[in-house]
A and B are shown apart, each in its own frame.
Chain A
Amino acid sequence: MAEEIKVGCARPTGGLVGAEEEKQATPGETQTAKGKELKTMIQVGKQAPDFTSPAYHKGNFVSVKLSEYLGKWVLLCFYPGDFTFV
């Protein structure tokens, strides 16, 4: 399911699916407005924003896309950082 990624010196980053096109289409002020809007988009009963993200999974560096998990239940957990205590 998850595609393996090549590792270089640059740290790989992911992002929202479709966010790049949006950025190009809306310059300046509206862009920040869009960003703010995104923050409040999260609501129960509403679609989760799709994203791709580099990941470490069982010894490999892979790329994970949320929409690849359609058909399954997903627990998406955020945390402050590796090596934090709780």
Chain B
Amino acid sequence: MSIDSVFVHKMWNDHELSKMVAGGVPFPMLSDTGGKVGTAFGVYSEEMGVETRGRFIIDPDGIIQGFEVLTPPVGRNVNESFRQVQAFQLVRQSKGTEATPSGWRPGKMTLKPGPDLVGKVWEVWKTDMAFD
């Protein structure tokens, strides 16, 4: 979503993005001319007149589970967004009985918070697990 019109979205997709991704952008390119939606999400900059790089993870109930906002010159890490979605999906599937510690990615161990784990995380989770 950006403040560009759908016409400009079409031009960008057809003339540039489709040359990077076969078949073009697979998801809807949303237009927010006027920045109303961006304002509601807190990412519209009145000063610059554009939307900053906000990324929101919204769960199947419409609840915002996480967001990240960057100023324009730094691009995001798509893998990190996917990792977070996978972590939220796991937590949701476990109905909140499991939690994903720092550095978790699919296949790594999860934690089961409860009275027995208090003060014992150091026994099961090592610092190097925070890194890839």
Please determine whether A12 and B6 come into contact, CB atoms closer than 8 angstroms.
yes
How distant is the Cα of A48 from the Cα of B12 in the complex, in angstroms? 28
Q: Do residues A77 and B54 form an inter-chain contact, with CB atoms below 8 A?
A: yes
A49–B40 touching, CB < 8 Å: yes
Residue in B closest to A38 when the chains form the complex, CB atoms: B40
User: Cβ of B34 < 8 Å from any Cβ of A?
Assistant: yes
Q: Which of A12, A45, A51, A56 interacts with B29 by CB under 8 Å?
A: A56
How many chain A residues touch the partner (CB < 8 A)? 52
Instruction: Tell me whether A41 and B31 are in contact (CB under 8 A).
Output: no
A41-85 residues at the B interface, CB under 8 angstroms: 41-51, 53-58, 61-62, 64, 66-67, 69-84
- What B residues does A25 contact at CB under 8 A? none
Please report the total number of B residues contacting A with Cβ < 8 Å: 60
Asked if A13 is an interface residue, CB under 8 A from chain B, the answer is yes
Residue of chain B at shortest CB distance from A16 = B40
- State the main secondary structure of chain A at its contact with B: loop
A79→B30 contact, CB < 8 A: no
B38 to chain A: closest CB distance in Å?
6
Write the chain A residue with the least CB distance to B1. Answer: A78
Query: In the complex where A73-B58, A78-B53, A82-B2 touch, is A47 in contact with B28 (Cβ < 8 A)?
Result: no
Say if the beta carbon of B101 comes within 8 Å of chain A: no
Q: CA A38 – CA B41 in complex, angstroms? A: 8
B residues in contact with A79, CB < 8 Å: 1-2, 51, 53
For the complex, is B112 an interface residue (Cβ under 8 Å from A)? no
- Listed residue (B12, B30, B31) with the most chain A CB atoms within 10 angstroms of its CB: B30
Contact bitstring B20-41, A, C-beta under 8 A = 1, else 0: 0000101111111110111111
Are A39 and B54 touching (Cβ within 8 A)? no
Give CA–CA (A55, B5) in the complex, Å: 8
Contact assessment for A35 and B28 in the assembled complex, using a CB-CB cutoff below 8 Å: no
